[in-house]
Amino acid sequence: MTAVTAVTGTRVLEPYESLSLSEVLSRCRDLVEDPDFPTVARWRRDGGKVIGHFEVYFPEEIAHAAGALPFKVRGAPVEARQGESHFGSYLCSILKTSLELVLSNRVELDMFVSHPICDSARNLAAIWGRNVEYPCEILYLPQNANSGHAAAYLRGEYGRLARQIEAVTGHAITDDDLRASLAVFNENRRLLRELYEIKRATPWQLAVDEAYVLMAVGGMIPREEHNALLAWALPKIRERAGVPQDRMRLVFEGGFCEQPPLDLLSTIAKFSYVVDDDLLIGLRWITEDVPIGDDPLADLAVSYLERSSYSPVQHDLRKPKEKMLVERIRNAGAGAAIITAAKMCEPGLDEVVAYVKALDEEGIPYFVSEFEERMTNFDNLQVQLETFIENLLFA
């Protein structure tokens, strides 16, 4: 076991090493669907600090370097009884359920950070700040990714964020702390790339919902523990028996912020292979190792801009989203795409139009749908999807 997978501090997962892979996947599923986030509670019970960060990307390494648990706030399948009253109509669900988690004391945080990813989310720090006692603030990731000044600015912004996190945790972050954290997260990125490589190469060994829970659990446990879990699970996935079936290879697009219900992913997995997706893309935003040099915050800042994926909430002239999607489909050897957007998600809905036009031009079949994290009925969707796929398979 290396330093990047060694779990030395609080362990928040129940021991799983003696269990079967499917039992562990089932546990991960329970954790991902549990609106009480027991791993976060365990961490906090042992005196750990929790930095909650809203979708999409957050430089978790900085929180980690301060000894805190970076917790990915991504809503939950709960009824927003209190959260609803803080918002008007016509808004996506994730805003309301995320606030619900803290107003109902399901999750306790020590700091909350949101980003101006969209018109709704940019209001969140102000809304949370009016309702909780701990610091709530906005991290201004650069929206002009093409400026020659963006990296230097982001280096400064990360420095500012580090000072705020130091104040919350009482831990002065050193460059060595940051370098150690970068190494842990580089290993995590490597393991997640391996997970996705399995999806692409042998998708019959790993369904989209299984891969999802293995990845998503990383947003709520210490990253060393996630690394250890992935290092344990990946060989077992590769050893899984199974034969390729005559199923359509698909790319799922539209899960960059609000997450589709797991049952929706399971429905899709019943009759297709999802060979790539943008689910929780923030956890995989940086696509390569972050170089570890003299100025780790600068290394992290440059990587955000130069070694990164794409999403509807980042504008980068070098990465037109529709071209990136076509590339994702081609690279994954997919024959079609499921293009989705969360209900009331303006950037997602805007992008659907561009995606559809591009796919038409490329002659790539697609299925368009909207979802909501709290939806529970998938019958219609299943029938429509099955029809779509049958049409393709038997065309």
Q: Which positions touch other proteins (CB under 8 A)?
A: 85-91, 95, 116-120, 122-123, 125-127, 129-131, 135-140, 142-144, 146-150, 152-153, 156-157, 160, 312-313, 315, 317, 341, 343-344, 346-347, 349-354, 356-357
CB of 318 to other proteins, least distance (A): 13
- The DSSP line for 158-170 is HHHHHHHHHHHH-
Burial class (CB in 10 A: 0-12, 13-18, 19+), 363: exposed
CB of 343 to other proteins, least distance (A): 7
Segment holding 54, helix H or strand E: strand 50-54
Comparing CB distances to other proteins, the nearer of 85 and 391 is 85
Comparing CB distances to other proteins, the nearer of 185 and 256 is 256
Comparing CB distances to other proteins, the nearer of 147 and 384 is 147
Comparing CB distances to other proteins, the nearer of 221 and 338 is 338
Segment holding 381, helix H or strand E: helix 379-393
Comparing CB distances to other proteins, the nearer of 206 and 298 is 298
CB of 253 to other proteins, least distance (A): 15
Comparing CB distances to other proteins, the nearer of 129 and 365 is 129
Q: Residue 231 is encoded by which pair of tokens?
A: 């290092």
CB 24 within 8 A of CB 62: no
CB of 245 to other proteins, least distance (A): 33
Please choose, from the candidates 211, 193, 186, 191, the residue with its C-alpha nearest in 3D space to the C-alpha of residue 60. 186
Q: Helix 208-216 vs helix 21-33: angle between axes, to the nearest 10 degrees?
A: 70
Cα-based angle 134, 137, 138 (whole degrees, multiple of 5): 160
Comparing CB distances to other proteins, the nearer of 5 and 314 is 314
Segment holding 250, helix H or strand E: strand 248-253
Comparing CB distances to other proteins, the nearer of 32 and 118 is 118
What's the Cα-to-Cα distance from 244 to each of 203, 216, 268, rounded to whole Å? 8, 26, 16
Q: Residue 214 is encoded by which pair of tokens?
A: 């293995």
Cα 90 to Cα 78: distance, rounded to the nearest angstrom: 18
Q: Which residues pair with 50 in a beta bridge?
A: 69
CB of 250 to other proteins, least distance (A): 21
Q: What is the DSSP letter of 374?
A: T
Work out whether the CA dihedral 109, 114, 120, 126 comes out positive or negative.
Answer: positive
Q: What is the DSSP letter of 359?
A: H
CB of 91 to other proteins, least distance (A): 6
CB of 220 to other proteins, least distance (A): 25
CB of 258 to other proteins, least distance (A): 13
Q: Which residues pair with 248 in a beta bridge?
A: 272
Segment holding 341, helix H or strand E: strand 336-342
Comparing CB distances to other proteins, the nearer of 96 and 189 is 96
Comparing CB distances to other proteins, the nearer of 86 and 307 is 86
CB of 90 to other proteins, least distance (A): 4
Comparing CB distances to other proteins, the nearer of 154 and 213 is 154
Q: Residue 253 is encoded by which pair of tokens?
A: 């697009």
Burial class (CB in 10 A: 0-12, 13-18, 19+), 123: middle
What region does 47 belong to: left with phi over 0, alpha with psi -120 to 50, or beta?
left
CB of 363 to other proteins, least distance (A): 18
CA 75, distance to chain mean position in Å, is: 12
CB of 261 to other proteins, least distance (A): 19
Cα 145 to Cα 142: distance, rounded to the nearest angstrom: 6
